Chain A
C-alpha cells in the first residue's frame, strides 16, 4: 500500500492507516577492501597492508613503466624513510666544527622536501594536471636509486679512498642519477601540456643533480 501525503501540513500518520513496506537500502557490489571496518583488524594487518603498498611502489620505481598505481595511491611514508636514511648516511662526513663541511642533516632534509615542493608548484603553475601530493610522492620515491648509490658509496669508501674508489663512485652515482631522473620523468611527463615538457623536466634534473653532487662529494673524516 503506497504512502500518500495529503499535504505537508499534516505529516502525522494515524494508526488506522497500516504502514508497511521495506526500508532496506539495496546493497550494491561492495569493493573488496571495504567489506568490513578496518578498526577491528589486528594491528599487524594494518601495518602489513601499508608496508606492502610502500614496497609495491619501490618495485615500480625500480622498473619504471607507465603505471597509474604510483600516482593513484600516493603515500609519503616511502619518501620520508628514504629522505631520513639519505640524510643520516650523509652525516659523519668532514663534520669538524668548521663551517666548510658537508651538508648537515637539516640541510639535506630541507633541500629534499623544499626542492620537491618547489618542483611540484612549478609544474602546477605551468599547467600540469597532477595533484600536489601525487607529485611529491613520485619525486620522493624516485630518490630511491640515489639512496642505493649512497649506500654503495659508503661501502666503497670503507674499502679505500683513492682514485679507483672515486671512479667507481662516480660511475655508480651517475648511473643512479640517470635512473632517478628517467623514472620520475616517466611518471610525471604525461600530466604536462606537451609544449612545456622541457620546462617541467629541467627542474627535476637540477634537483637530482644537486642530490647526486652531495652524494659524490661525501668524504669521511
Chain B
C-alpha cells in the first residue's frame, strides 16, 4: 500500500514516487523585502502595510484551511474506495464459499441417501435370512419334537413304522447344509467422494481477481509545466497489477452543446503508479482517471481528478501602467482563457551608472486581480514582470516593463477623448483638427467628453506630489489642469466644481489667461506668454500650481480640498496641438517644503 506522509502542513508523497519535490517556497510566503528597502516613506503607506500583513496572515490561514479540506476530501475518497474494494472482495468470497458449501452439502445429501439405501438393503437381506433361519429352526424343532414323540410312543409298531422315515427325514435334514453365511456384507461401501468440483471451486477462490479501482491523487502544487502534467495514483489493496491505463480529456470552460465536438479522450499505458502527460495546452483544465489491469481483467475506473497545467505568462499593458517617484501601478492581461489562482509581480532594481547592474529581485505574491500598486524608491529604474499562478505552478515571466521613478509618468485615458481630438502614436501629443468629423464618429461611449475637446490622463492614485509639463505654442487656446475622474463629460473643464484648469484665450487684441474652477477665475494678467507650463499637484497641501517653466515663474496656485483622486486634464478650445511631458523630476521651486 502506498502511504502518504504528512510533513508540516503539506501532503507529500514519499520520495520514490515523485521527482518534482522542490517546491518554490516563495509561493507560500508573503512579500519579502531586502533590508535596504525597508526605509521608505512610512506615513503614506504605513496603514497599508499593516493591512497587507494582516491580509497575508489571513491568506496563509485560508490556504491551510483549503489544504486541510482537500486532504479530508482525499481521505474520504480513499476510504470509500477501500470500502468498495473490500466490499467487492467480501462479496466475491461469500459467493464462492456459498457455492462450495452448497456443493458439499449436496454431496453429503447424496452420500447419506446412498448409505441409507445400502443400509436398507442389507437389513432386508439379513431379515430375510433371519426369517429363513427362523423357519429352519422351527422345522428342526418340529422334527425333534416329532422324534421325541416317536421315541416316547408306547406303541412299538407305530414307532417302528415311523422311526425309519423320521430317521430318514432327520438324516436328510441334517444333510442339508446350513447356509450360515451372512446374506450380505456387513461393511458399507465407501467409495471415494468425488469432490473434484468442490476442489476446483476452492481453488478458484485463490485465483487472483481483477484489481480494485486505484485512487488518483489530487494535483501536487508545482508539478506541472505549461504543456505537461505529472499525475500520481495509488492502489489501496494487495492486488497484483500488470499495468495501468491513464485516461485524460481537456475540460472546456464553456461546454459545447454539440457532443460531437467534445474533446476526445486520450490514454497512456504505464507500469508505474505515476505518469507525465505531455503535449497539453497551457493554463487548461484536464479530467483524468486511471484503471489497473492484470491477467484476470480490468479494474473499475478511479474517481475523476481535475488537474491544471501551468498558465501562459500574462501580458503587461504598457499603455495602462503609470508611476510616480514613490510607486508604480502595473496592469496586465491574464494571457489565459481559464481563471488563474493569483499573480506574482517581480521587480528588479537596475543599479550601476549605466543601469546595467541588476539588484535583488523582489516578489509580490498572491495578487488577486490583473493589477498591482507597488511601492518603489524615488530616482531609480526598475524592471517589472508578472507571472500567473495556479495549482500547477507559476507561469514563465511576462515580457518586462521598465519603470523609472524620476518623476510622475502617465499615459492618456484615450477612451475619454472627445471625438475631435486625435492623439499621436506615442500617446503624448493631442491635436484638434480643422476637419469636420462625420456625425457617425459622434457615436460615443459614456466616457468621452462631448463638448469640451478634451481628454483625461491616467495618473497613479497615490497621495503624493506629482509634476508634469505641457508644451504649447503662443497661439494655442488650451485648458490644462486636473479633474475628478467622474467629472461631467458634457461640461467644460473649469466650468464645474469637479475640475480646475488654466485657460488661455486668444483674442484679436491680446492674450487672456484664466484659472478656472466652478466657472470662476481670479482677474490676472500675464505679460510673458508661457509656452511651457509646469503643473505641480500636492495632495497633502491640497494645491495645484502652474509655472512658466522657461522663466521659473510662478503663475497661480489653486487651493483645493481634493475629496478623492484627480486626473490630469488637457483640452483645446480651437484647432491646435499640445504636447505633454512627464516623468520629469519636479524643479525645486515647484513644491513648498512641508515644515
* A and B part of one assembly: no
Could you list which residues of chain B lie within 8 angstroms of chain A, going by C-beta atoms?
A: none
